[in-house]
Amino acid sequence: MNSEHEKLVVIDHPVVARDLTILRNKETGTAVFRQALARVSTILAYNALQNIRLRETEVETPIEKTTGFEIDPEIVVVPILRAGLGLVDAITTFVPDARIGHLGMYRDEVTKKPVDYYVNIPHGIENALVLVVDPMLATGGSACDAISFLKSKGAREIRFTCLISAPEGVKKVQQEHPDVVIITAALDQKLNDDKFIVPGLGDAGDRIFGTT
- Residue 30 bears catalytic tag: no
Within a domain: 61: no
Q: What is the pLDDT of residues 180-203, one digit of tens each?
A: 999 999 999 999 998 999 999 988
Number of folded domains that form the chain: 1
Cα–Cα distance between 123 and 201 in angstroms, integer? 35
- Residue 18 bears catalytic tag: no
- Residue 116 bears catalytic tag: no
Residue 92: give its domain's CATH number. 3.40.50.2020
Within a domain: 60: no
Does a cis peptide bond (omega within 30 degrees of 0) precede residue 55? no
Q: Which of 203, 207, 211, 212 is catalytic?
A: 203
Q: Which of 18, 206, 211, 212 is catalytic?
A: 206
Within a domain: 59: no
pLDDT in tens, the chain (212 residues): 344 457 999 999 999 999 999 999 999 999 999 999 999 999 999 999 999 999 999 999 999 999 999 999 999 999 998 899 999 999 999 999 999 999 987 767 677 676 778 889 999 899 999 999 999 999 999 999 999 999 999 999 999 999 999 999 999 999 999 999 999 999 999 999 989 999 999 888 889 988 87
Q: Which of 57, 61, 66, 111 is catalytic?
A: 111
- Residue 203 bears catalytic tag: yes
Q: Which of 107, 161, 184, 193 is catalytic?
A: 107
Domain of 113, in residue numbers: 2-53+67-209
Within a domain: 58: no
